[in-house]
Structure 1
């Protein structure tokens, strides 16, 4: 993706952290290495003790930033969806044609992610792998309704609502814009997961066609 965030600061719900990790070198180091460690060993095996060993810091120092690893995953997910949203807004704000705007929006959401050099402590390509494999773990919990009320998924929902607006501009009479938009966002993660683990049930394993697939499906549906 283009380098778009040089002069922007992503704001995360304050209830997701004890201390804002962006305010210190240690905090940024925690974010950077938590992404790398989760990608290396998986979220289930990830602990603050292991992260402390990786960054050569006491486990207690990590708890000064995050209450637990679930809140950390929610933080990383919110950061990721905010980054996608910023890219979506910048890529489409000067586009007047509704079909072209929707097409670009789908590409932003579904394309392969590369690292953004303007965020040196976060490798978006690695974070994307975590979102593909672990974002559902933030949703499929007993506390999801309460966490939703707390605004922990506000950015995720806001991104989907932007896509809903784009769909409605293309076809105001289409009655399922919300379901279609959320299916694109969540479905793109699922298709990438299938590509890595269940190659016989997705065309994505044979070719880089995810954006083309969703653009084709939505145009056939709306036009």
Structure 2
């Protein structure tokens, strides 16, 4: 799969950027270093001025790619979910047993991510840490309904819809497939956050992963 992914450009809604960062070395440098800087200082403290200083570029040159840091975070989130969608497609494509397919899908969207060396300017492991900590900030805004209409969250919803379809394969009579799928995808991010920061209110730890929790859940719910 990695060899195939290395030849694929993850599609991102073109309305999220002014100039496609994948089209130039500076753009790729912006993506690579924005991930590292947001991870280091947090999204609240992140600015284009600080990013420009980090990469030795004028702040104005960054605005030629993204009109705001909110749009940049949306871009990074959309890229992540697009990458996750490719992983889901390839890893479940030839699985005929619906329950086994669902377990594979759940493991993919709930496990801790490791870096894919084929995407040189994106460290997926660090990007995943940002998704865990910051993704809700792309959703919990006053503009969420308008941004949803524009299609900013389309790929995120596609990931969830793929899991909904598999849940329906496992148990067509289960009435809450949408709620279950979205709870798994969103809940896994929260469980990883709790595991790392608020350990006393989750059972997830070094021995019990969020993947274990959600696979146990679907086996009990969908039987």
Q: TM-score scaled by structure 1?
A: 0.98
Residue equivalent to 1:129: 129
Deviations 1:27-74 (A, max 9, x none): 000000000000000000000000000000000000000000000000
Residue equivalent to 1:183: 183
2:114 aligned with 1:114: yes
Deviations 1:164-210 (A, max 9, x none): 00000000000000000000000000000001110011122342421
Contact 1:3/1:117, CA 8 A, preserved across alignment: no
Q: Following superposition, which runs of at least 4 residues in structure 1 exceed 6 angstroms of deviation?
A: none
Residues 66-215 of structure 1 aligned to structure 2 (within 5 Å): 66-215=66-215
Contact 2:2/2:118, CA 8 A, preserved across alignment: no
Contact 1:18/1:65, CA 8 A, preserved across alignment: yes
Greater mean alpha carbon deviation, residues 47-56 or residues 209-218 = 209-218
Contact 1:88/1:108, CA 8 A, preserved across alignment: yes
The whole-number CA distance in structure 1 between the counterparts of 2:3 and 2:129 is 20
The whole-number CA distance in structure 2 between the counterparts of 1:94 and 1:143 is 39
Aligned alpha-carbon RMSD (Å): 1.1
Gaps of 5+ in 1: none
Secondary structure at the counterpart of residue 104 of structure 1: helix
Deviations 1:78-126 (A, max 9, x none): 0000111100110000001101100100011111100001100000000
Residue equivalent to 1:47: 47
Deviation of the 1:4 alpha carbon = 4.7
The whole-number CA distance in structure 2 between the counterparts of 1:11 and 1:206 is 34
The whole-number CA distance in structure 1 between the counterparts of 2:161 and 2:24 is 33
Deviations 1:105-156 (A, max 9, x none): 0011111100001100000000000000000000000000000000000000
